[in-house]
Amino acid sequence: MKILKFKDFSKLYEASTSVSEPVGIAILGVPAGGKSYTFNKLKDAAEDARLSKTLSNGINLSVDKLRNEFQSKDAMSQLMGFLGAFYMFRDKSKADKDEFGKWFSDIKGLWNDKISKLLPDLRITADDQAIKSGEQDLASIVNKISKEDAERVISQLDKYNDYKRVVRFFQTLKQDDAVNKATGVTYDEAGDEPGKIINNMKSLHNRGYVTDVFLIHPKNIASNLIQNFYRVVTGNDGGRDSSAAIVQAFKDIESKKDLYVKNAEKTVVAPSSNLDDVKRELKLATVSDDQARGDKPIDVLAEILPMSPEKAYSTFIDKLQGDQKEIFTAMLKYSAASLKGIPEEAKDAIDDLTKDMTNREAIEVLSKASDSGKYVFKFGGVTPELVKKAKEVLA
C-alpha cells in the first residue's frame, strides 16, 4: 500500500503571479493591534522597489485570506485538502514533533472525531501513518465519495475551528509554489508561534529571499483590547470579542519575543507614527550582506510600537456616534473586571480610562443596549448573555 506524502496534493492548488527580486514579509502582532494600519502605511511610503512590489503584487499568504480562498473551492477539492493536510503534518511532525506534533494531532483528531462520522459507510480511521477506509488507504479510493457526500461533509464543518490546520496546508503549498517562481510573499499572523514563523523565513532566506519581519507589539495590551471592543460595539468582524485570545497571544509573544531578535541580522524599534528608521534599514538589507550580518533567517526585524492606551481610547471613542460611546466605555469597564489573565497594567489603564462611569451605570448602559437589539451581531456584540455576566462581575 502506497503511503502518500502531502506533495502529492500540491497540483490542486497552484498560484501564478511572479515578481523578480523576491522579498518575504511577515507582519506579526496580536489581533486588534494596528497591523492593517502599519501595512498600509508601509505600502504608501515604502522607498524600496522590492518592498513596494511585494506589498502591492506579492502572493498574500495571510491565514484569513487563504481560508476564504480555500473555502471558495468545490467541496471535493476541500475534502482532498483535509486529506492532504493529514499527510503534510504527519511528515512535518516526524521531522519536528515539538513544532508540528500538535498540528498533526489536531488534523488526525478531526478525521477520527468528525469527518469519519459524517461518512460512516467508509469506516474511516486515522492513525499515525495513514487515513484508511476499512483496510484500504482512503486516498486510493477517494473516488468512491460522491459529490453530494463531499458537499454534506463540508457543510457541517465549523468554518473557523475545523479549518485551522487545512489552511496551514494550503499556505504551505502556496509558499512552495511562490518560491519556485521567485515570487514575493507576505504573511499576516499573530506571531505567537515564533518557531514556525522563523522556519518559514529560513526557508525563504535559503532560497535567496530578503526577509523582513514586522512585529507590532504594544507595551500595554490595553491598546489592543480597546480596539477590540471598538469592533465589538460597531459590529466589525461580526462583533467578535477576541479579548481572551488577545491576552493569551500577547503573553505568548512576550515570553518568546527574544527568539525573533536572536534570529534577526538587524533589529530596529520604532513607533508606528514614525517609520523612517525602519524604512532606512529595509532599504539597506540585501542577500549579499548576509555573511557580514551573521547570516540569520530574518534580514530585518522591525518592532513597531502601536499607540498607547490613552491615545487608542481617544482615537476610537471619537469615531463612535451617540450611545455607542457609552456602550464602548461600559464594555471596556466590564472587560477589565471579567477578563481572565488580564495583565495588571492593562487592567489599571482601562480602569483609569473608564473611571467616570460607575459599575451600576455600566450595567444600565449594557442592559439598555441589549434590550434594543441593535448591538447583537453575527459573532457577538451586546447580548443578553453578556449582560448577565456583566451583572455578576460589576455588581
Three-state SS for 242-275 is: CHHHHHHHHHHHHHHHHHHHHCEEEEEEEECCCC
Q: Quickly tell me which residue has 492593562 as its cell.
A: 346
Lowest mean pLDDT among 32-41, 86-95, 112-121, 200-209: 32-41
For the cut 90, the answer to whether the pLDDT of residue 2 exceeds it is: no
- Cα(342)–Cα(336) distance, integer angstroms: 7
- Helices of type H across the chain: 35-45, 49-57, 63-71, 75-95, 97-110, 116-118, 147-155, 164-180, 194-206, 222-234, 243-262, 276-284, 290-293, 309-317, 324-338, 344-353, 359-372, 384-394
With a cut of 90, say whether residue 47 has pLDDT above it.
no
Nearest to 339 by CA among 227, 220, 242, 240: 242
Give which of 372, 365, 383 is closest to 326, Cα–Cα: 365
- What pLDDT is stored for residue 143 in this prediction? 85
Mean of pLDDT values over 32-60:
79
Nearest CA among 315, 384, 327, 394 for reference residue 360: 394
What does the pLDDT read at residue 378? 87
How many Cα atoms within 13 Å fall on the side-chain side of residue 72?
Answer: 7
pLDDT of residue 16: 37
Q: What is the CA radius of gyration of the chain?
A: 23
pTM of the entire predicted model: 0.81
The pLDDT of residue 9 is: 57
Provide the pLDDT confidence category of residue 21 given band limits of 50, 70 and 90.
Answer: low
The predicted pLDDT at position 19 comes to 39
Q: Which of 219, 208, 370, 226 is nearest to 305 (CA)?
A: 219
Using pLDDT thresholds of 50, 70 and 90, give the confidence band for residue 221.
very high
- Cα–Cα distances in Å, from 80 out to 37, 99, 117, 209, 300? 36, 24, 17, 31, 37
Residue 160 grid coordinates: 473557523
Q: Report the range of poorest mean pLDDT among 14-23, 82-91, 97-106, 129-138.
A: 14-23
Average pLDDT over residues 21-28: 89
Residue pLDDT, tens place only, 298-334:
999 999 999 999 999 999 999 999 999 999 999 999 9
What SS3 string covers 331-387? HHHHHHHHCCCCCHHHHHHHHHHCCCCCHHHHHHHHHHHHHHCCCEECCEECCHHHH
Q: Could you tell me if 295 and 330 are in contact, meaning their C-beta atoms sit under 8 angstroms apart?
A: no
Find all residues with CB under 8 Å of 279, minimum gap 6, and list them: 42, 45, 46, 47, 48
- Report pLDDT for 10: 54
Please state the domain extents for the chain: 68-165, 309-394
Q: Shortest CA distance to 62 belongs to which of 159, 171, 158, 165?
A: 171
* Residue 358 CB coordination number (10 Å): 12
Residue 265 · residue 299 · CB < 8 Å: yes
Q: Is the pLDDT of residue 1 over 60?
A: no
> Is 60 exceeded by the pLDDT of residue 30?
yes
Here the cell at position 67 is 481560508
Cα distances from 49 to residues 40, 104, 230, 276, 363, in angstroms, run 16, 39, 35, 16, 53
